[in-house]
Amino acid sequence: MKYKIFVLLMIFAFSFNSFSQTDYFKLGREYFNNGDYEKAAATYAEVIKKEDNLPKVYDNYLSTLYKLKNYSEVEKIIKKMIKMSAPDNYIYRVDYAFFYTQQNLPDKADKEFSSLVSDIQKNSTSVDIVGAYLMQLGAYGWAKQLYVQSRKNFDRYAYCFQLSTIYNRLGQTDNMLDELLNYLQQRPEELEQIQNTFQNELETDEQFSAFETKVYERINKDPSQIIYNQLLLWLNIQRKNFSKAFIQAKAIDKRNRESGSQVMDVGNIALENKDYDAAATCFQYVVDTYKESYFSSIAKRMVIQTREEQIKNTFPVDKQKIVGLINDYKQLLKESGRTAYTLESLRNMALLQAFYLDKKDTAIVILTSLIENPYTENRLRGKAKMDLGDIYLLTGEPWESTLLYSQVEKDFKEDPLGHQAKLRNAKLYYYKGEFVLAQEQLDVLKLATTREISNDAIKMSVFITENSGLDSTTDALRDYSSIELLLFQRQYTEALVACTQLLKTYPKHELTDDVYWMQATILRETGKPNEALEMLQKISAGYAEDLLGDDALYTSAQIYEYDLKNPEKAMELYKEFLIKYTNSVYVVEARKQFRLLRGDKI
């Protein structure tokens, strides 16, 4: 091999003058990228004859020499870089320590690295640079040695975040947790940063459980440290364990005399995540405990609203329970008066009348009175206008709908409420089959500051684009969007007939799985869970890897759990889901439901 390299060097030496330096840099990089290390080494050997070129090719040349196990040359170029670099550039000394590890000489490597640590441990800038380089190389053992030794010269909590990451990479979960919790105990004002670090570092159920145990141990040792309650509150919200989050929120409210604000926050998050029992518990606690608080009237309304969401998501919806909800809202208005906190109830009542009792005229009267009331807060008036627009869409008057949506757009131009109104206008164009106009609205909303609205706009825009390409017509999409309007209008029978017709007219179309999903949704909402499962099974069988694959399997598990009261089958499907769709947005909830059905204490 040495003779071969010698010949290559002679050839390159002969032709070097006819090439520019740039040509040689490029040639060496091409050889390196193609794995032709002998030619790469020969090229770089010529290039670095001009000493100033060494830093430009150092990394690739070093890797090349290691590939060829040419350790004598490795040592030469590392020593040359140490000599050429500034006195405070210690990166190349790290490389020199690694030079020994590459030859399986750990004692020499450790001796060289310990010498480096001794030289730089009091220089925070050098420690930062070398530590970052070691982390980049994955040399976590040496990085740990550097930071632990160096912190003795500074603050005892110095390099906390670097060490927590190192401990995690080394599989030392207890050390990672202690590192961060010790730091938090001394600097509680940095709670948010600690939470963000935990969010990045904790990955497995075992790690989360170890974290919870550690925090409880510290609470038991020092109950006065409310920072640990705040940490447990955050943890349980992350894990969507809102019953435990409620316990911590209560403790924080009492300690800080916050009149129920923490508990209200947990209740609202639980409601968003459809944990109706936990949400109701939170809101009822505020009603019972903080009767004189300004949160009390809000909590009373939220108790009813939580029950409303639970009723609306229990299929088929019981109309008598809807009537009961309306009466509860009326009673709330009677007891508490029409305040800024209770007027929202009028919106709830109107929407229940229109969408569940088919009393659209009654709903229109309620919302119109709310809009015209001079005491109605401006944002509430905007929401009521959008609701009224939705109801006009129910009555088949889309021109009235777009007028109202546009008014809200204008009144709340750079506000999420205005963006929501624009999204509804886009949906209206979509329902009518005017896809170009819908896309114009969606293009603006893709840049919306509210992530939820932006995501909805992107999702809808992609859906339209995928189903109305230049090489196909929009006839199928037009039929599909008209069915979506029927679904919005609660015209379930007509929508199911139209779905069947669409499948016949456009067999094996890209919209097929979307039609199955729509049929499943209608069948479930009309109290036919077994038939809904048949449609979801078609998606799981033929479209498992497509966009609706995880939705179909997760919803099937939900139907078995809640609609058919078959926990064994639900648990089986949740388990299948967790194996099959590890990156799904439903993973946290599916894992939680699986563990609850299994009987775990969470």
Do 309 and 274 touch, CB atoms closer than 8 A? yes
**For residue 576, is it within any domain?**
yes
The two structure tokens encoding residue 158: 């110095």
What is the arithmetic mean of pLDDT over 149-168? 95
What is the arithmetic mean of pLDDT over 204-233? 93
CA distance 487 to 208: 42
Residue 338 has pLDDT above 90, yes or no: no
What is the arithmetic mean of pLDDT over 294-316? 95
The confidence score (pLDDT) of residue 66 equals 95
The confidence score (pLDDT) of residue 36 equals 94
The per-residue pLDDT for range 381-431, each reduced to its tens digit, is 999 999 999 999 999 999 999 999 999 999 999 999 999 999 999 999 999
How open is the CA angle 158-161-167, to the nearest 5 degrees? 110
Question: What is the pLDDT confidence band of residue 541, given thresholds at 50, 70 and 90?
Answer: very high
Whether the link from the prior residue into 316 is cis, omega within 30° of 0, is yes
Taking the mean position of all CA atoms in its chain, how far away is CA 27? 44
Whether the link from the prior residue into 398 is cis, omega within 30° of 0, is no
| Of 11 and 123, more confident | 123
Q: Position 532: which residue type?
A: A
DSSP three-state, residue 291:
coil
The two structure tokens encoding residue 534: 């048949």
Residue 12 has pLDDT above 70, yes or no: no
What is the arithmetic mean of pLDDT over 103-119? 96
**For residue 568, is it within any domain?**
yes
Q: Position 304: which residue type?
A: I
Do 477 and 467 touch, CB atoms closer than 8 A? yes
What is the arithmetic mean of pLDDT over 325-350? 92
**For residue 540, is it within any domain?**
yes
Question: What is the pLDDT confidence band of residue 177, given thresholds at 50, 70 and 90?
Answer: very high
**For residue 220, is it within any domain?**
no
In sequence order, what E strands does 69-159 have?
Answer: none
Work out the number of other CB atoms within 10 angstroms of the CB of residue 458.
Answer: 14
CATH number assigned to the domain comprising residue 518: 1.25.40.10
Question: What is the pLDDT confidence band of residue 15, given thresholds at 50, 70 and 90?
Answer: very low
Residue 62 has pLDDT above 60, yes or no: yes
Domain that holds residue 539: 506-598
Helix, strand, coil proportions of the chain in percent (round to 5)? 80, 0, 20
**For residue 266, is it within any domain?**
no
Residue with tokens 């009723």: 311
CA distance 537 to 417: 38
CA distance 93 to 80: 11
Work out the number of other CB atoms within 10 angstroms of the CB of residue 373.
Answer: 15
The per-residue pLDDT for range 428-455, each reduced to its tens digit, is 999 999 999 999 999 999 988 788 999 9
306-340 residues labelled b (16+ CB within 10 A) or e (exposed): bbbebbbeebeeeeeebeebbebbeebbeebeeee
**For residue 496, is it within any domain?**
no
Q: How many domains does the chain have?
A: 1
**For residue 178, is it within any domain?**
no
Q: For residue 260, is it left (φ>0), alpha (ψ between -120 and 50) or beta?
A: left
The per-residue pLDDT for range 497-507, each reduced to its tens digit, is 999 999 999 99
Residue 182 has pLDDT above 70, yes or no: yes
Report the C-alpha dihedral over residues 267, 268, 274, 279, rounded to 10 degrees. Answer: 20
CA distance 295 to 271: 17
DSSP three-state, residue 442:
helix
**For residue 564, is it within any domain?**
yes
Question: What is the pLDDT confidence band of residue 509, given thresholds at 50, 70 and 90?
Answer: very high
Q: How far is CA 255 from CA 68, 136, 174, 182, 281, in A?
A: 66, 44, 29, 22, 20
| Phi, psi (degrees; rounded to nearest 5) at 338 | -90, 80
